[in-house]
Chain A
Amino acid sequence: MGEEQKEKNNKYSIIIPTYNERLNIALIVYLVFKHLSNVDFEIIVVDDGSPDGTQDIVKQLQLVYGGDRILLRARPKKLGLGTAYIHGLKHASGNFVVIMDADLSHHPKYLPNFIKKQMETGADIVTGTRYVKGGGVHGWNLMRKLTSRGANVLAQTLLWPGVSDLTGSFRLYKKSVLEDVISSCVSKGYVFQMEMIVRATRKGYKIAEVPITFVDRVYGSSKLGGSEIVEYLKGLIYLLLTT
Protein backbone atom coordinates (compact mmCIF):
# COMPACT_ATOMS: atom_id res chain seq x y z
CA MET A 1 0.00 0.00 0.00
CA GLY A 2 2.78 2.39 1.01
CA GLU A 3 4.76 1.23 -2.00
CA GLU A 4 1.85 1.96 -4.31
CA GLN A 5 1.55 5.44 -2.86
CA LYS A 6 5.20 6.01 -3.55
CA GLU A 7 4.83 4.89 -7.16
CA LYS A 8 2.09 7.43 -7.64
CA ASN A 9 4.36 10.21 -6.44
CA ASN A 10 7.09 9.43 -8.93
CA LYS A 11 7.59 11.98 -11.65
CA TYR A 12 9.63 11.36 -14.77
CA SER A 13 11.40 14.14 -16.65
CA ILE A 14 12.18 13.10 -20.22
CA ILE A 15 15.07 15.13 -21.62
CA ILE A 16 15.34 15.17 -25.41
CA PRO A 17 18.15 17.18 -27.01
CA THR A 18 17.29 18.28 -30.54
CA TYR A 19 18.93 19.83 -33.55
CA ASN A 20 16.87 20.06 -36.74
CA GLU A 21 14.31 17.47 -35.65
CA ARG A 22 11.06 19.33 -36.33
CA LEU A 23 9.17 16.30 -37.62
CA ASN A 24 10.73 13.73 -35.30
CA ILE A 25 10.11 15.73 -32.13
CA ALA A 26 6.40 15.96 -32.95
CA LEU A 27 6.21 12.21 -33.56
CA ILE A 28 8.12 11.42 -30.36
CA VAL A 29 5.90 13.66 -28.24
CA TYR A 30 2.79 11.97 -29.63
CA LEU A 31 4.23 8.52 -28.95
CA VAL A 32 5.34 9.39 -25.42
CA PHE A 33 1.85 10.61 -24.53
CA LYS A 34 0.37 7.53 -26.14
CA HIS A 35 2.49 5.08 -24.17
CA LEU A 36 2.72 6.86 -20.82
CA SER A 37 -0.94 7.57 -20.17
CA ASN A 38 -0.96 6.71 -16.46
CA VAL A 39 2.35 8.26 -15.50
CA ASP A 40 3.26 11.71 -14.22
CA PHE A 41 5.87 13.04 -16.60
CA GLU A 42 7.19 16.09 -18.40
CA ILE A 43 9.12 16.36 -21.65
CA ILE A 44 12.04 18.78 -21.69
CA VAL A 45 13.18 19.65 -25.19
CA VAL A 46 16.67 21.13 -25.25
CA ASP A 47 16.98 22.64 -28.71
CA ASP A 48 20.32 23.97 -29.85
CA GLY A 49 19.04 26.78 -32.04
CA SER A 50 17.78 24.58 -34.91
CA PRO A 51 17.36 26.64 -38.07
CA ASP A 52 14.58 24.31 -39.33
CA GLY A 53 11.94 25.60 -36.92
CA THR A 54 12.03 22.78 -34.39
CA GLN A 55 11.15 25.31 -31.68
CA ASP A 56 8.03 26.48 -33.54
CA ILE A 57 6.79 22.89 -33.66
CA VAL A 58 7.48 22.46 -29.94
CA LYS A 59 5.39 25.58 -29.27
CA GLN A 60 2.56 24.12 -31.35
CA LEU A 61 2.84 20.89 -29.37
CA GLN A 62 2.62 22.88 -26.15
CA LEU A 63 -0.75 24.21 -27.32
CA VAL A 64 -1.98 20.64 -27.85
CA TYR A 65 -0.55 18.94 -24.77
CA GLY A 66 0.03 21.83 -22.35
CA GLY A 67 3.00 24.03 -21.59
CA ASP A 68 3.49 22.32 -18.24
CA ARG A 69 3.93 18.89 -19.88
CA ILE A 70 6.27 19.99 -22.66
CA LEU A 71 9.00 22.41 -21.67
CA LEU A 72 11.12 24.13 -24.29
CA ARG A 73 14.52 24.99 -22.89
CA ALA A 74 16.45 26.22 -25.91
CA ARG A 75 20.08 27.22 -26.20
CA PRO A 76 21.42 29.69 -28.75
CA LYS A 77 23.66 27.28 -30.65
CA LYS A 78 25.04 23.74 -30.84
CA LEU A 79 26.85 23.20 -27.54
CA GLY A 80 27.19 19.43 -27.29
CA LEU A 81 25.25 16.52 -25.86
CA GLY A 82 26.66 16.42 -22.33
CA THR A 83 25.89 20.05 -21.60
CA ALA A 84 22.45 19.60 -23.19
CA TYR A 85 21.61 17.04 -20.49
CA ILE A 86 23.00 19.29 -17.75
CA HIS A 87 20.93 22.15 -19.13
CA GLY A 88 17.79 20.02 -19.23
CA LEU A 89 18.48 18.66 -15.75
CA LYS A 90 18.42 22.17 -14.28
CA HIS A 91 14.80 22.47 -15.35
CA ALA A 92 13.70 18.94 -14.45
CA SER A 93 11.12 18.68 -11.69
CA GLY A 94 10.86 14.87 -11.63
CA ASN A 95 12.66 12.53 -9.26
CA PHE A 96 13.55 10.36 -12.25
CA VAL A 97 15.09 11.48 -15.52
CA VAL A 98 14.92 9.70 -18.88
CA ILE A 99 17.31 10.64 -21.64
CA MET A 100 16.61 9.58 -25.20
CA ASP A 101 17.49 10.53 -28.75
CA ALA A 102 15.12 12.62 -30.83
CA ASP A 103 15.64 10.74 -34.08
CA LEU A 104 13.08 7.96 -33.39
CA SER A 105 15.79 5.30 -33.08
CA HIS A 106 14.58 5.11 -29.47
CA HIS A 107 10.90 4.20 -29.42
CA PRO A 108 8.82 5.65 -26.55
CA LYS A 109 6.89 2.36 -26.33
CA TYR A 110 9.74 1.02 -24.18
CA LEU A 111 9.33 3.72 -21.53
CA PRO A 112 6.83 1.66 -19.47
CA ASN A 113 9.39 -1.21 -19.39
CA PHE A 114 12.08 1.12 -18.06
CA ILE A 115 9.76 2.37 -15.32
CA LYS A 116 8.57 -1.14 -14.44
CA LYS A 117 12.12 -2.46 -14.31
CA GLN A 118 13.19 0.37 -12.02
CA MET A 119 10.30 -0.31 -9.66
CA GLU A 120 11.00 -4.04 -9.59
CA THR A 121 14.72 -3.74 -8.97
CA GLY A 122 15.06 -0.38 -7.24
CA ALA A 123 17.93 0.30 -9.66
CA ASP A 124 19.67 3.68 -9.77
CA ILE A 125 19.95 3.43 -13.55
CA VAL A 126 17.99 1.41 -16.09
CA THR A 127 19.76 1.24 -19.43
CA GLY A 128 18.33 0.04 -22.72
CA THR A 129 20.29 -2.73 -24.37
CA ARG A 130 20.11 -3.87 -27.98
CA TYR A 131 22.18 -7.00 -27.48
CA VAL A 132 19.93 -9.28 -25.42
CA LYS A 133 16.89 -11.39 -26.20
CA GLY A 134 14.01 -9.13 -27.14
CA GLY A 135 16.34 -6.37 -28.28
CA GLY A 136 17.70 -5.71 -31.73
CA VAL A 137 18.89 -3.34 -34.40
CA HIS A 138 17.43 -2.53 -37.80
CA GLY A 139 19.12 -0.73 -40.66
CA TRP A 140 22.78 -1.63 -40.19
CA ASN A 141 24.95 -3.17 -42.88
CA LEU A 142 27.54 -5.87 -42.17
CA MET A 143 30.35 -3.37 -41.73
CA ARG A 144 28.37 -1.38 -39.17
CA LYS A 145 27.50 -4.57 -37.27
CA LEU A 146 31.12 -5.71 -37.32
CA THR A 147 32.42 -2.41 -35.95
CA SER A 148 29.77 -2.40 -33.28
CA ARG A 149 30.51 -5.95 -32.13
CA GLY A 150 34.27 -5.34 -32.21
CA ALA A 151 33.95 -2.14 -30.20
CA ASN A 152 31.76 -3.90 -27.68
CA VAL A 153 34.08 -6.90 -27.21
CA LEU A 154 37.04 -4.56 -26.79
CA ALA A 155 35.26 -2.47 -24.18
CA GLN A 156 33.90 -5.52 -22.34
CA THR A 157 37.36 -7.09 -22.17
CA LEU A 158 39.19 -3.95 -21.09
CA LEU A 159 36.69 -2.11 -18.92
CA TRP A 160 34.51 -4.83 -17.29
CA PRO A 161 31.58 -2.42 -17.26
CA GLY A 162 28.91 -4.86 -16.13
CA VAL A 163 26.40 -3.83 -18.81
CA SER A 164 25.96 -5.38 -22.25
CA ASP A 165 25.37 -2.23 -24.29
CA LEU A 166 27.78 0.57 -23.47
CA THR A 167 27.05 3.09 -26.18
CA GLY A 168 23.27 2.97 -26.08
CA SER A 169 21.83 6.23 -24.84
CA PHE A 170 18.25 5.30 -23.96
CA ARG A 171 18.39 5.38 -20.17
CA LEU A 172 16.43 6.13 -17.03
CA TYR A 173 18.26 7.63 -14.06
CA LYS A 174 17.38 8.60 -10.53
CA LYS A 175 17.75 12.35 -10.79
CA SER A 176 20.36 12.61 -8.03
CA VAL A 177 22.39 9.81 -9.63
CA LEU A 178 22.40 11.50 -13.04
CA GLU A 179 23.49 14.78 -11.42
CA ASP A 180 26.31 13.01 -9.63
CA VAL A 181 27.56 10.99 -12.62
CA ILE A 182 27.23 13.69 -15.26
CA SER A 183 29.33 16.16 -13.27
CA SER A 184 32.37 13.90 -13.62
CA CYS A 185 31.98 13.17 -17.35
CA VAL A 186 33.92 15.12 -19.95
CA SER A 187 33.73 13.06 -23.17
CA LYS A 188 31.70 13.76 -26.27
CA GLY A 189 29.57 11.72 -28.64
CA TYR A 190 29.55 7.93 -28.33
CA VAL A 191 32.24 8.02 -25.68
CA PHE A 192 30.08 10.23 -23.48
CA GLN A 193 27.43 7.50 -23.16
CA MET A 194 30.12 4.94 -22.39
CA GLU A 195 31.78 7.20 -19.83
CA MET A 196 28.47 7.79 -18.07
CA ILE A 197 27.75 4.10 -17.58
CA VAL A 198 31.34 3.12 -16.70
CA ARG A 199 31.65 5.87 -14.08
CA ALA A 200 28.27 4.90 -12.66
CA THR A 201 29.46 1.28 -12.38
CA ARG A 202 32.67 2.37 -10.64
CA LYS A 203 30.75 4.55 -8.20
CA GLY A 204 28.81 1.44 -7.25
CA TYR A 205 25.39 2.46 -8.53
CA LYS A 206 22.94 -0.32 -9.21
CA ILE A 207 22.29 -0.70 -12.93
CA ALA A 208 19.52 -2.76 -14.53
CA GLU A 209 18.96 -3.49 -18.22
CA VAL A 210 15.89 -3.72 -20.41
CA PRO A 211 15.86 -4.91 -24.02
CA ILE A 212 15.15 -2.24 -26.64
CA THR A 213 15.06 -2.29 -30.40
CA PHE A 214 16.94 0.30 -32.34
CA VAL A 215 15.71 1.37 -35.76
CA ASP A 216 18.43 3.50 -37.27
CA ARG A 217 17.19 6.92 -38.12
CA VAL A 218 14.35 7.01 -40.57
CA TYR A 219 14.97 10.53 -41.83
CA GLY A 220 18.60 11.33 -42.50
CA SER A 221 21.37 8.84 -41.86
CA SER A 222 23.73 8.21 -38.98
CA LYS A 223 27.36 7.98 -39.84
CA LEU A 224 30.25 5.98 -38.45
CA GLY A 225 33.55 6.72 -40.15
CA GLY A 226 37.22 6.34 -39.41
CA SER A 227 37.35 9.40 -37.20
CA GLU A 228 34.56 8.01 -34.97
CA ILE A 229 36.55 4.80 -34.53
CA VAL A 230 39.66 6.77 -33.55
CA GLU A 231 37.59 8.82 -31.09
CA TYR A 232 36.19 5.61 -29.64
CA LEU A 233 39.65 4.08 -29.12
CA LYS A 234 40.89 7.28 -27.51
CA GLY A 235 37.87 7.20 -25.26
CA LEU A 236 38.59 3.61 -24.24
CA ILE A 237 42.14 4.49 -23.24
CA TYR A 238 40.94 7.57 -21.40
CA LEU A 239 38.47 5.47 -19.42
CA LEU A 240 41.12 2.83 -18.68
CA LEU A 241 43.34 5.49 -17.17
CA THR A 242 40.78 7.55 -15.30
CA THR A 243 38.11 5.19 -14.00
Chain B
Amino acid sequence: MMTLSSANLIIMKHILKILALLVAISAFWIGLLRASLVPETHMWLLPLYFIVSLGCYGLLMVGVGLMQFPSCPQEAILLHQDIVEAKDFLKKKGVDVGFD
Protein backbone atom coordinates (compact mmCIF):
# COMPACT_ATOMS: atom_id res chain seq x y z
CA MET B 1 0.00 0.00 0.00
CA MET B 2 2.78 2.34 0.95
CA THR B 3 4.73 1.66 -2.22
CA LEU B 4 1.59 2.12 -4.29
CA SER B 5 0.93 5.58 -2.90
CA SER B 6 4.54 6.71 -3.30
CA ALA B 7 4.53 5.47 -6.89
CA ASN B 8 1.38 7.49 -7.45
CA LEU B 9 3.09 10.52 -5.98
CA ILE B 10 5.83 10.32 -8.60
CA ILE B 11 3.48 10.24 -11.57
CA MET B 12 1.04 12.68 -9.98
CA LYS B 13 0.53 15.81 -12.04
CA HIS B 14 2.15 18.81 -10.51
CA ILE B 15 -1.09 20.69 -9.95
CA LEU B 16 -2.27 17.81 -7.76
CA LYS B 17 0.83 18.07 -5.61
CA ILE B 18 0.13 21.75 -5.04
CA LEU B 19 -3.55 21.06 -4.32
CA ALA B 20 -2.56 18.30 -1.90
CA LEU B 21 -0.33 20.75 -0.09
CA LEU B 22 -3.17 23.29 0.16
CA VAL B 23 -5.58 20.62 1.40
CA ALA B 24 -3.07 19.52 4.04
CA ILE B 25 -2.66 23.09 5.28
CA SER B 26 -6.46 23.59 5.33
CA ALA B 27 -6.97 20.32 7.20
CA PHE B 28 -4.41 21.36 9.78
CA TRP B 29 -6.13 24.71 10.28
CA ILE B 30 -9.63 23.22 10.44
CA GLY B 31 -8.32 20.73 12.97
CA LEU B 32 -7.05 23.54 15.17
CA LEU B 33 -10.38 25.38 14.89
CA ARG B 34 -12.41 22.23 15.65
CA ALA B 35 -10.27 21.45 18.68
CA SER B 36 -10.93 25.04 19.81
CA LEU B 37 -7.20 25.63 20.09
CA VAL B 38 -7.84 28.70 17.98
CA PRO B 39 -10.92 30.83 18.71
CA GLU B 40 -13.43 30.99 15.86
CA THR B 41 -13.08 34.76 15.57
CA HIS B 42 -9.58 34.13 14.20
CA MET B 43 -10.86 31.82 11.48
CA TRP B 44 -9.49 33.86 8.59
CA LEU B 45 -6.12 34.41 10.20
CA LEU B 46 -4.22 31.59 8.51
CA PRO B 47 -5.66 31.93 4.98
CA LEU B 48 -5.00 35.66 5.11
CA TYR B 49 -1.46 35.24 6.42
CA PHE B 50 -0.84 32.57 3.82
CA ILE B 51 -1.86 34.78 0.91
CA VAL B 52 -0.09 37.86 2.27
CA SER B 53 3.13 35.99 2.96
CA LEU B 54 3.01 34.37 -0.50
CA GLY B 55 2.68 37.83 -2.04
CA CYS B 56 5.51 39.20 0.10
CA TYR B 57 7.69 36.24 -0.83
CA GLY B 58 7.02 36.87 -4.53
CA LEU B 59 7.76 40.58 -4.34
CA LEU B 60 10.85 39.99 -2.22
CA MET B 61 12.23 37.39 -4.63
CA VAL B 62 11.63 39.65 -7.64
CA GLY B 63 13.18 42.59 -5.77
CA VAL B 64 16.25 40.67 -4.68
CA GLY B 65 16.54 39.16 -8.16
CA LEU B 66 16.46 42.63 -9.70
CA MET B 67 19.01 44.07 -7.28
CA GLN B 68 21.38 41.18 -7.79
CA PHE B 69 20.69 40.91 -11.49
CA PRO B 70 24.04 39.82 -12.89
CA SER B 71 25.04 42.03 -15.79
CA CYS B 72 28.13 41.61 -17.92
CA PRO B 73 28.98 44.72 -19.97
CA GLN B 74 32.55 43.46 -20.46
CA GLU B 75 31.15 40.45 -22.31
CA ALA B 76 29.75 42.70 -25.04
CA ILE B 77 33.22 44.15 -25.57
CA LEU B 78 34.83 40.70 -25.66
CA LEU B 79 32.19 39.52 -28.11
CA HIS B 80 32.88 42.48 -30.34
CA GLN B 81 36.59 41.59 -30.38
CA ASP B 82 35.71 37.98 -31.23
CA ILE B 83 33.54 39.17 -34.10
CA VAL B 84 36.34 41.29 -35.55
CA GLU B 85 38.76 38.38 -35.22
CA ALA B 86 36.31 35.92 -36.81
CA LYS B 87 35.56 38.26 -39.72
CA ASP B 88 39.27 38.74 -40.41
CA PHE B 89 39.92 35.01 -40.47
CA LEU B 90 36.86 34.14 -42.56
CA LYS B 91 37.55 36.89 -45.08
CA LYS B 92 41.05 35.49 -45.65
CA LYS B 93 39.53 32.02 -46.17
CA GLY B 94 37.20 33.37 -48.82
CA VAL B 95 33.98 33.28 -46.84
CA ASP B 96 31.69 36.13 -47.78
CA VAL B 97 31.39 38.12 -44.53
CA GLY B 98 31.59 41.59 -46.01
CA PHE B 99 28.18 42.75 -44.84
CA ASP B 100 26.42 43.71 -41.66
B is a partner of A: yes
Q: How far does the Cβ of B69 sit from chain A's closest Cβ, in whole Å?
A: 5
Q: Does A80 contact B (CB under 8 A)?
A: no
The digit string for A47-71, where 1 denotes a CB below 8 A from any CB of B, is 0000000001100110110000000
Nearest residue (CB) in B for A154 is: B58
Q: Does B23 contact A (CB under 8 A)?
A: no
Main secondary structure of the interface of A (DSSP, over half): helix
Q: How far does the Cβ of A45 sit from chain B's closest Cβ, in whole Å?
A: 14
Contact partners of B70 in chain A: CB under 8 A: 130-133, 135-137
Nearest residue (CB) in B for A239 is: B14
Q: Does A153 contact B (CB under 8 A)?
A: yes
Q: How far does the Cβ of A107 sit from chain B's closest Cβ, in whole Å?
A: 7
Q: How far does the Cβ of A219 sit from chain B's closest Cβ, in whole Å?
A: 7
**A138–B69 Cα gap in the complex (Å)?**
10
**A135–B69 Cα gap in the complex (Å)?**
10
Interface residues, chain A, with chain B CB atoms under 8 Å away: 22-23, 26-27, 30-31, 56-57, 60-61, 63-64, 104, 107, 130-133, 135-140, 142, 145-146, 149-150, 152-154, 156-160, 202, 213, 215, 218-219, 239-243
Is the pair B90, A30 in contact by a Cβ cutoff of 8 Å? Answer: yes
Is the pair B75, A138 in contact by a Cβ cutoff of 8 Å? Answer: yes
Q: Can you list 12 A-B pairs with a CB-CB distance of less than 8 A?
A: A22-B99, A23-B97, A26-B90, A27-B97, A56-B96, A104-B83, A131-B70, A136-B75, A149-B65, A153-B65, A213-B75, A219-B100
Is the pair A152, B65 in contact by a Cβ cutoff of 8 Å? Answer: yes
Is the pair A107, B79 in contact by a Cβ cutoff of 8 Å? Answer: yes
By CB atoms of chain B within 10 A, which of A61, A64, A152, A219 has the most?
A64
Nearest residue (CB) in A for B57 is: A157
Chain B 44-92 interface residues, beta-carbon cutoff 8 Å to A:
57-58, 61-62, 65-66, 69-73, 75-76, 79-80, 82-83, 86-87, 89-90
Main secondary structure of the interface of B (DSSP, over half): helix
Is the pair A64, B15 in contact by a Cβ cutoff of 8 Å? Answer: no
Q: Does B18 contact A (CB under 8 A)?
A: yes
Contact partners of B80 in chain A: CB under 8 A: 218
Nearest residue (CB) in B for A130 is: B70
**A243–B14 Cα gap in the complex (Å)?**
6
Nearest residue (CB) in B for A131 is: B70
Is the pair A215, B14 in contact by a Cβ cutoff of 8 Å? Answer: no
- Identify 8 new A-B residue pairs, CB closer than 8 A, beyond the known A136-B72, A240-B13: A23-B99, A31-B82, A64-B93, A64-B95, A130-B70, A136-B75, A138-B72, A215-B72
Q: Does B94 contact A (CB under 8 A)?
A: yes
**A156–B65 Cα gap in the complex (Å)?**
13
Nearest residue (CB) in A for B54 is: A157
**A156–B60 Cα gap in the complex (Å)?**
14
Choice from B62, B71, B97 contacting A26 with Cβ under 8 Å: B97
Nearest residue (CB) in B for A24 is: B83
A137-B69, A239-B14 in contact; A26/B76 too (CB < 8 A)?
no
